[in-house]
Chain A
């Protein structure tokens, strides 16, 4: 809602015109100021003058000579405009005046004759778009003739203040200058001047017969016929106000309708009576019915749309847009002004479906004031009388089958204390509500009568809001209640630990979009052409790359890795924790939380550390770290083959026998389709298991006796998983084993064809004694036997 301070002052005498104070006042009422500025003239030295004589220029036929009275002297001015004659009251830039901030008016010679200034157009004064002629003030500003020689700027309304106000959707009553003035009047406790909307009628009564088929769709339809109008431009001041209100001036008829809408919030529509005929029937549209609207578009209607018809054909889409066939045109003399109340949901549906959201539909869809319908039409008629020479006809139309009347709310005073935490007496409450022009009776409960312009006020809590707003939020004290203090849930605390482990492993957290493109799944799963089709689709994605809900974090991670590599970063280490979306849930999709990570590239060599490409063991190491630090019992990995992972470098992550994720290197061709080359290590794990366990370890006293440390190496068939050797070795070592560590793996001639050597360092320690050689020998033997038995490996070297 855009407007000027001077327009507000038509209805209220504000105690301040300081814009900063007014901004705060509007805000305290809940009307957020989106923009404001002081309107100042871009000119100086312009005065009001009267043209005394007009004559031809002897040496030029495109300009004329004038004598202009500017109060203290009469100036000879040469003027190129032809829209005035002697007697015109005009703005005059006298020598020394400055226009547009930098154009100084001087006496200058025009074809042999001196021109002593300039008579100005709207454009030259930065006051409007009209540049074809100079501003003629006589009819627009009747008092201008009495102000010859006085400065033009204050006369025309400078300075002023422009406000752009974000009216919340619950307040259709404030989508008008008058509505905002009413709220300010309530705040400042100042009188609100009621407008005089009276029309002087003459001639025959209205000839147009109106009927309503559907009283829900159109509860009230008012109209006033105005005859004898002359279509032309509106006065300067109307155009100026409309421009500040963000409405483009068009003609006196259209402008009158728009001016009344901004002023009182009631949209109207003018029909050309000659084109309309004498019948109006309001009904729901037939499915598939068409109308050509004012913008010359053919609109196909549905049975949710309300139409105004001439008895057979639609002539307007009710509350949304008029029809081209009955449009006011240059030759129009007789108009019928419609001011109807439309059912807001229908307006919303129609305007959204047709993409026809306008100032009018915005008001109707939130709810205009049905009580104001007759005045809405009459205000337009009044303006047409004043500025288009029209004569309103007697007997206006008012078909009111809906008969919407004010309603009442029983308001117990206890509601104020209960909701706001302050006590207000019956008198104080009555005073606050009365200021807002609610009717109030009784003591406690109060019986509050709500005017029809406030569809948002229906129940007591709506009144609490009004009371709080006008009483002032700042008047309510601050108190701080405390909750019971349950703290963070276990899963949340564990989630923070999980994130910290990832960060502490050198990885950066990212948050990618929850949707991906179908092509991402096609790239990730070339072996599964239906992968994208199985994903849950977004019905109305903004673009194709956001078309399906992610079924895995991997595409997002690969794309993020690719972003970094494409920006020439040598390596990337990223993780994300977030939901994936899978079919299965009854009402809504299954949305398990997952952890995913990606390691790619080759971290730069440092002077103390060689460069090394990431590989699958970096990923597996992360998984093992999580297993040992997240209290997850029995976490293991199993070598597997699972697209999109490299068939030889992929492992399933198991928790208590159930697969919870996968870690490995991405198949090179798939990595390439995401713009990545080299080894790309990825892991994805369902985190629900990781977050579920509190952990219940028990303390073990470390032995204070010396350990025995030795190495053993096993030549193992290369078909045996290395992990089996380690498991068997540890089992064989028995209770004395404190720690074992695989420290070398190699194959080759020295080991033998088809064999791999695993060299393991063991540290044995007894809790209660120093181990002797006699005890260690049998342990070594047991280890060798256990490994041989379980894997077919042979001990390398002596026992």
Chain B
């Protein structure tokens, strides 16, 4: 392809240039080759460049204008061809590069490390949050407790069997014989909390509790309770029923049915157990009752001015029911919750 100006008819030679360029560009197989072609066609010393330079020699302004337009048209056509080809080649090369970079994504990924919260902790958090939603706050209390707070302040008589060493773990601490023990329930925090706060009191207290029991499928010397206490002017048994039924629906599902059956606790009166209908059977969910006036007297509240309700439940039991924690025979079993085996802990997602 020599200079266009050498051709007899510049227009014809421009046409030929386009035809040749189209073939040449079309045949390019790499961006480098295309760049070289581009330079040859359009760059310094190219036919187009030479043709433009030759325009000054055309005297007739009309012819000069027409020829100039024709050259520009050809230049634009070639430029478009190059651009189009370039994007095709870019896409092709990119596709080839990506194809070469392919990996097998079915192989395991790099999982950031993550453990689990213990199931008991999760259960407690969930229950606490339900009551926080009802306007309650939360407190914790000492696990090594005085006999006074654990029993006496809870209206449990001096002679009650639960005070006996066969039921309660005592600590060798302080001067008083038998005065310090591992709390057998979270209820002593009722007394401590009321001593520290004036009514109204709306609080839940989760924590460890202790009994003199060997480990078996339903017992452990250490387990957990969540205590709840609402003390205000005009708190009634109707409030107790409504609150705990609301809790059951939040925790077990909105269609959960509950029933309250009379029971006995020294620190509440009337006392009840709440049972919930879950998975086709009634299960005992918690114990509850109206705070016994004797408990108010122990903490310096005026029993004629306030009333209240209290409840206590076991997160282990709730977790066992919910997650089907059993032994190999399919019977509910507490022991997996005590086991630090990571194969169990890993399931607590």
Which chain A residues have a beta carbon within 8 Å of chain B's beta carbons? Answer: 27-30, 32, 168-171, 344-345, 348-349, 352, 417-422, 459, 461-462, 464-465, 468-469, 473-474, 476-489, 492, 496, 499, 502-515, 536-543, 546, 549, 560-561, 563-564, 567, 569, 572-575, 578-579, 581, 583, 587-589, 591, 606-609
- The docked-state distance in angstroms from the alpha carbon of A481 to that of B343 is 43
Given contact pairs A479-B239, A541-B169, A573-B115, A591 touches B144 in the complex (Cβ within 8 A): yes
Query: Would you call B238 and A510 a contact (CB within 8 A)?
Result: no
Query: Would you call B170 and A538 a contact (CB within 8 A)?
Result: yes
Query: Which residues of A have CB within 8 Å of B242?
Result: 477-481
Query: Which residues of A have CB within 8 Å of B132?
Result: 487-488
Q: Which residue of A lies closest to B171 (CB)?
A: A536
Closest chain-B Cβ to A364's Cβ sits at a distance in Å of: 13
Query: Would you call A507 and B115 a contact (CB within 8 A)?
Result: yes
Query: Would you call B221 and A483 a contact (CB within 8 A)?
Result: no
Q: Which residue of A lies closest to B137 (CB)?
A: A486
Query: Would you call B144 and A567 a contact (CB within 8 A)?
Result: no
Closest chain-B Cβ to A765's Cβ sits at a distance in Å of: 29
The residues in B between 219 and 239 inclusive whose CB is less than 8 angstroms from any CB of A are 221-222, 230, 232, 234-239
Query: Which residues of A have CB within 8 Å of B170?
Result: 538-540
Query: Which residues of A have CB within 8 Å of B270?
Result: 419-420, 464-465, 468-469
Which residue from A169, A502, A587 sits with its C-beta under 8 Å from B146? A587
Query: Would you call B118 and A511 a contact (CB within 8 A)?
Result: yes
Which residue from A344, A538, A540, A572 sits with its C-beta under 8 Å from B342? A572
The residues in B between 129 and 154 inclusive whose CB is less than 8 angstroms from any CB of A are 132, 134-139, 142-146
Closest chain-B Cβ to A565's Cβ sits at a distance in Å of: 10
Query: Would you call A609 and B110 a contact (CB within 8 A)?
Result: yes
Query: Would you call A509 and B261 a contact (CB within 8 A)?
Result: no
Query: Which residues of A have CB within 8 Å of B210?
Result: 514
- The docked-state distance in angstroms from the alpha carbon of A583 to that of B173 is 8
Given contact pairs A28-B261, A588-B173, A479 touches B115 in the complex (Cβ within 8 A): no
Query: Would you call B264 and A169 a contact (CB within 8 A)?
Result: yes
Given contact pairs A419-B237, A514-B222, A589-B144, A540 touches B260 in the complex (Cβ within 8 A): no
Q: Which of A469, A481, A536 has the most CB of B within 10 A?
A: A481
Which residue from A171, A499, A505 sits with its C-beta under 8 Å from B264? A171
**Total A-B Cβ pairs within 8 A:** 253
Stretch at the interface among B17-25, B46-54, B157-165: B157-165
Query: Which residues of B have CB within 8 Å of A486?
Result: 137
Query: Would you call A536 and B120 a contact (CB within 8 A)?
Result: no
- The docked-state distance in angstroms from the alpha carbon of A549 to that of B230 is 33
Query: Which residues of A have CB within 8 Å of B348?
Result: 508
- The docked-state distance in angstroms from the alpha carbon of A536 to that of B181 is 11
Query: Would you call B114 and A503 a contact (CB within 8 A)?
Result: yes
How many chain B residues touch A (CB < 8 A): the figure is 88
Query: Would you call B241 and A513 a contact (CB within 8 A)?
Result: no
The answer to whether B263 has its CB under 8 Å from any CB of chain A is: yes
- The docked-state distance in angstroms from the alpha carbon of A476 to that of B143 is 36
Which residue from B108, B161, B214 sits with its C-beta under 8 Å from A352? B161
Which residue from B108, B114, B145, B166 sits with its C-beta under 8 Å from A504? B114
Query: Which residues of B have CB within 8 Å of A488?
Result: 128, 132, 137-138
The answer to whether B10 has its CB under 8 Å from any CB of chain A is: no
Given contact pairs A419-B307, A536-B171, A589-B180, A465 touches B113 in the complex (Cβ within 8 A): no
The answer to whether B292 has its CB under 8 Å from any CB of chain A is: yes
The residues in B between 59 and 116 inclusive whose CB is less than 8 angstroms from any CB of A are 107-108, 110, 112-116
Q: Which residue of B lies closest to A170 (CB)?
A: B264
- The docked-state distance in angstroms from the alpha carbon of A481 to that of B131 is 11
Query: Would you call A468 and B236 a contact (CB within 8 A)?
Result: no
Besides A419-B290, A509-B121, A591-B144, 12 other CB < 8 A contacts? A27-B261, A344-B159, A465-B270, A474-B259, A478-B241, A499-B121, A506-B113, A509-B116, A538-B182, A569-B342, A569-B343, A588-B174
Closest chain-A Cβ to B234's Cβ sits at a distance in Å of: 8
Given contact pairs A459-B293, A473-B260, A349 touches B115 in the complex (Cβ within 8 A): no
- The docked-state distance in angstroms from the alpha carbon of A539 to that of B178 is 9
The answer to whether B125 has its CB under 8 Å from any CB of chain A is: yes
Query: Would you call A505 and B263 a contact (CB within 8 A)?
Result: no
Query: Which residues of A have CB within 8 Å of B340?
Result: 508, 510, 512, 560-561, 563-564, 574
Closest chain-B Cβ to A648's Cβ sits at a distance in Å of: 27
Query: Would you call A508 and B307 a contact (CB within 8 A)?
Result: no
Query: Which residues of A have CB within 8 Å of B203?
Result: 483
Given contact pairs A459-B293, A546-B221, A564-B340, A476 touches B241 in the complex (Cβ within 8 A): yes
Query: Would you call B144 and A581 a contact (CB within 8 A)?
Result: yes
Closest chain-B Cβ to A748's Cβ sits at a distance in Å of: 32
Query: Which residues of B have CB within 8 Å of A469?
Result: 262, 270
Given contact pairs A506-B113, A513-B221, A589-B180, A168 touches B135 in the complex (Cβ within 8 A): no
- The docked-state distance in angstroms from the alpha carbon of A505 to that of B242 is 41
Query: Would you call A539 and B171 a contact (CB within 8 A)?
Result: yes
Query: Which residues of B have CB within 8 Å of A508?
Result: 115-116, 118, 340, 342, 345-346, 348
Query: Which residues of A have CB within 8 Å of B238?
Result: 420-422, 476-479
The answer to whether B311 has its CB under 8 Å from any CB of chain A is: no
- The docked-state distance in angstroms from the alpha carbon of A541 to that of B210 is 11
The answer to whether B255 has its CB under 8 Å from any CB of chain A is: no
Query: Would you call A484 and B202 a contact (CB within 8 A)?
Result: yes
Query: Which residues of B have CB within 8 Å of A417?
Result: 236
Which residue from B108, B115, B135, B292 sits with its C-beta under 8 Å from A607? B108
The answer to whether B254 has its CB under 8 Å from any CB of chain A is: no
Given contact pairs A169-B264, A465-B262, A510 touches B144 in the complex (Cβ within 8 A): no
Given contact pairs A468-B270, A542-B221, A563-B340, A421 touches B115 in the complex (Cβ within 8 A): no
Query: Which residues of A have CB within 8 Å of B161?
Result: 348, 352
The residues in B between 149 and 203 inclusive whose CB is less than 8 angstroms from any CB of A are 158-159, 161, 164-166, 169-174, 178, 180, 182, 200, 202-203
Please provide the 9 A-B residue pairs with the shortest distance between their CB atoms, ordered closest to farther: A506-B113, A483-B202, A30-B262, A421-B236, A483-B135, A421-B238, A168-B264, A560-B340, A478-B242
Given contact pairs A479-B242, A484-B202, A591-B143, A563 touches B341 in the complex (Cβ within 8 A): yes
12 contacts between A and B (CB under 8 A): A420-B238, A479-B241, A481-B232, A481-B242, A483-B134, A489-B137, A503-B117, A511-B338, A514-B182, A540-B212, A542-B213, A588-B142
The answer to whether B243 has its CB under 8 Å from any CB of chain A is: yes
- The docked-state distance in angstroms from the alpha carbon of A510 to that of B345 is 8
Query: Would you call B264 and A32 a contact (CB within 8 A)?
Result: no
Which residue from B116, B159, B165, B246 sits with its C-beta under 8 Å from A348? B159
The answer to whether B245 has its CB under 8 Å from any CB of chain A is: yes
Q: Which residue of B lies closest to A168 (CB)?
A: B264
Closest chain-B Cβ to A575's Cβ sits at a distance in Å of: 8
The answer to whether B335 has its CB under 8 Å from any CB of chain A is: no
The answer to whether B208 has its CB under 8 Å from any CB of chain A is: yes
Closest chain-B Cβ to A509's Cβ sits at a distance in Å of: 4
Q: Which of B146, B208, B232, B261 has the most CB of A within 10 A?
A: B261
Q: Which residue of A lies closest to B176 (CB)?
A: A587
Q: Which of A459, A543, A588 has the most CB of B within 10 A?
A: A588
Closest chain-B Cβ to A411's Cβ sits at a distance in Å of: 14
Query: Would you call A514 and B117 a contact (CB within 8 A)?
Result: no
